[in-house]
């Protein structure tokens, strides 16, 4: 009976992780601080389901703007999610240090290319001005 309870609790933890979006807000590239990875939410489709929306930017330009189309894989123990995006690319986001550092693989055209494009981002402290207003991340 103890084994069954452990299995159920692990399943529940993985399901919660799968549905969570722990990467919201603005993240600054650790190798090149002029670049940012920002995550907000966008209502999609007729039912306006709230979906994570991603931005790659500098302080004066937004270079990419795409949203999650499909969750391909996730692992709550390794703390990552592999996603297919609205522009047909792939993105893998892994939490390295809870609430402070993430590793972003991609976006790339194929899953095999993900390891060729990796960047580390630090969560932007509230004391630092974001690259653009939060109203862009969370449109009404």
Domain hosting residue 64, numbered range: 2-125
Q: In sequence order, what are the beta bridge partners of 2?
A: none
The count of structural domains within the chain is 1
Yes or no: say if 64 and 70 are a contact pair by the CB < 8 Å rule: no
DSSP SS3 for 127: coil
CA separation for the pair 103, 117 (Å, rounded) = 10
Residue 133 lies in a domain: no
Q: Nearest Cα to 60, choosing from 44, 32, 36?
A: 36
Convert the pLDDT of each residue in 19-60 to its tens digit. 666 678 999 999 999 999 999 998 888 888 888 999 999 999
pTM (two decimals): 0.83
Q: Is residue 139 domain-resident? A: no
Residue 45, helix vs strand vs coil: coil
Q: Would you say residue 7 has pLDDT above 90? A: no
Token pair for 101: 């550092």
Is residue 79 included in any domain, yes or no? yes
- What's the pLDDT at 3? 43
- Residues 115 and 105: their CA atoms lie apart, in Å, by 6
The pLDDT tens digits for 58-104 are 999 999 999 999 999 988 889 999 999 999 999 999 999 877 999 99
């Amino acid at each position: 009976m103890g084994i069954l309870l452990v299995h159920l609790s692990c399943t529940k933890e993985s399901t919660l992780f799968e549905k969570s979006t722990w990467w919201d807000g603005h993240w600054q590239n650790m190798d090149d601080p002029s670049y940012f990875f920002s995550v907000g939410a966008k209502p999609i489709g007729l039912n306006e389901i709230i979906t994570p929306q991603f931005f790659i930017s500098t302080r004066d330009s937004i270079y990419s703007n795409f949203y999650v189309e499909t969750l391909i894989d996730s692992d709550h123990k390794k703390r990552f999610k592999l996603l297919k995006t609205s522009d047909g690319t792939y993105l893998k986001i892994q939490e390295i240090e809870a609430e402070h550092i993430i590793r972003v693989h991609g976006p790339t055209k194929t899953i095999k290319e993900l390891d060729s494009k990796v960047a580390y981002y630090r969560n932007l402290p509230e004391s630092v001005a974001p690259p653009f207003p939060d109203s862009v991340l969370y449109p009404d």
